[in-house]
Structure 1
């Protein structure tokens, strides 16, 4: 059994003092969150993220000098991100950055709590998956995953891609597909980094199975897989070295 989840460390970024205070109050009223810091600019947030462990980032979109979305483009390994904005028009672009949720001002506590619980569930599911995982030995050609009450062998070479769907992941191997109760983080830990790369919050791909890339989209066996903005640099670096 996984250990109980510690309070999630939250960083709040918003140049509107009133909005900043509202989110701080929401965090203070939520038992599974802890306030790790607040700042009024994305530039200051980048420094905090570089030097402190942060689990959840509450990030305003519209800020001077550097927007929230600009900040996300610079992060190699972002924490869970919940965007905050006064305009719904950013919703489509926001989710292309693999954010967890999207809050529109004025923020109610009920809506805030819904978003916060998504973050808690994401962290808890990682913990459960990590506790149940059977790690592959170094240089292994396969691993085992738990499907229902069975352990199923997964040869790494046969995997095309892994897709996250809710609390499960789909491991796609040619015409077959395994549905596993786990998280993408657990898959990253189990699958060899030399062969697999995270390209989106919801996708991990086998580099040897990539057929084409166009408009930040990977094609594998006629499956069109988006490359998230926060993963672009690493994906193309990996492909250039592969």
Structure 2
């Protein structure tokens, strides 16, 4: 009889106490649905790691020199799930303002650790359901996350999408949505039958294109450059090649 694999969460441990790191890593190793992804002995190092490595769950000490765990959370645009760990209960109220999964007070027992880990697994499952494609392949809309809300976006209202740093601007005529995302993620959500990548920083709605002038796409007085590597595809899609 086939069995369903239990999803696993990759975990990063951040604590300036080597013994605490050892204890938490031991707990992770004894929890089947957790996978160790490394450890950092300061929030500063963790910030750098999180810039290049995606993890599902952060076991984060609050009290650390130079930058505290809470200070680290303030710097993260799209933080992973967080379980805070500290030797003091005084941070509990402030901690939950950051929407953390749980709050563990040292010394940590495995039973209490497991309860927090199971809660993180449940929250991860809820997030996966919320972020799953909310439309059928032939639907005419999708949902995007704007701040803490899921906003419905009708494809025929989108003029173009522009990448700006870690965000994308989805331009809808006279309004726009600012979404923490990548252009690759947008390409996967938006149907290829309606949208084409015109530039490293632009995706355009084919139906909104008014003209092409000097290697620029014109959409409602907005001039969008066509990247050299995208030119052939753009022209083919517009039936101009």
Q: Note the 1:107-186 alignment, pairs <5 A.
A: 107-130=108-131, 133-134=134-135, 140=141
Per-residue Cα deviation, 1:67-112 (whole angstroms, up to 9, x for no partner): 0011011000000011000000000111111111100000011111
The reply on whether 1:54 has 2:55 as its aligned counterpart is yes
Corresponding residue to 1:191 among 152, 161, 175:
152
Q: Distance in 1 between matches of 2:84 and 2:63?
A: 10
Displacement of 1:135 in angstroms is 6.1
Cα pair 1:59 1:81 within 8 Å, conserved: yes
Displacement of 1:191 in angstroms is 3.0
Displacement of 1:8 in angstroms is 0.7
Name the CA shift for 1:96/1:127 in 2 (closer, same or farther; >3 Å): closer
Q: Distance in 2 between matches of 1:101 and 1:69?
A: 14
Displacement of 1:16 in angstroms is 0.9
Per-residue Cα deviation, 1:184-216 (whole angstroms, up to 9, x for no partner): 7xx63x634745879xxxxxxxxxxxxxxxxxx
The reply on whether 1:73 has 2:74 as its aligned counterpart is yes
Name the CA shift for 1:132/1:88 in 2 (closer, same or farther; >3 Å): same
Q: Give the gaps of 5 or more residues in structure 1.
A: 144-160, 163-183, 199-242
Cα pair 1:9 1:54 within 8 Å, conserved: yes
Q: Distance in 2 between matches of 1:51 and 1:196?
A: 23
Displacement of 1:128 in angstroms is 3.8
TM-score normalised over the length of structure 2: 0.56
Q: Supply the RMSD in Å over aligned alpha carbons.
A: 3.1
Q: Give the gaps of 5 or more residues in structure 2.
A: 154-169, 171-175, 181-241
Q: Distance in 1 between matches of 2:178 and 2:97?
A: 21
Name the CA shift for 1:4/1:125 in 2 (closer, same or farther; >3 Å): farther
1:82 matched to which residue of 2? Answer: 83
Q: Distance in 2 between matches of 1:115 and 1:9?
A: 14
Q: Note the 1:1-20 alignment, pairs <5 A.
A: 4=5, 6-20=7-21
1:22 matched to which residue of 2? Answer: 23
Name the CA shift for 1:138/1:47 in 2 (closer, same or farther; >3 Å): farther
Cα pair 1:5 1:124 within 8 Å, conserved: no
1:99 matched to which residue of 2? Answer: 100
* Count of paired positions: 155
Q: Give the greater-gyration-radius structure (CA).
A: 2
Q: Distance in 2 between matches of 1:51 and 1:26?
A: 25
Displacement of 1:134 in angstroms is 2.6
The reply on whether 1:31 has 2:21 as its aligned counterpart is no
Per-residue Cα deviation, 1:126-177 (whole angstroms, up to 9, x for no partner): 334455833698985x98xxxxxxxxxxxxxxxxx99xxxxxxxxxxxxxxx
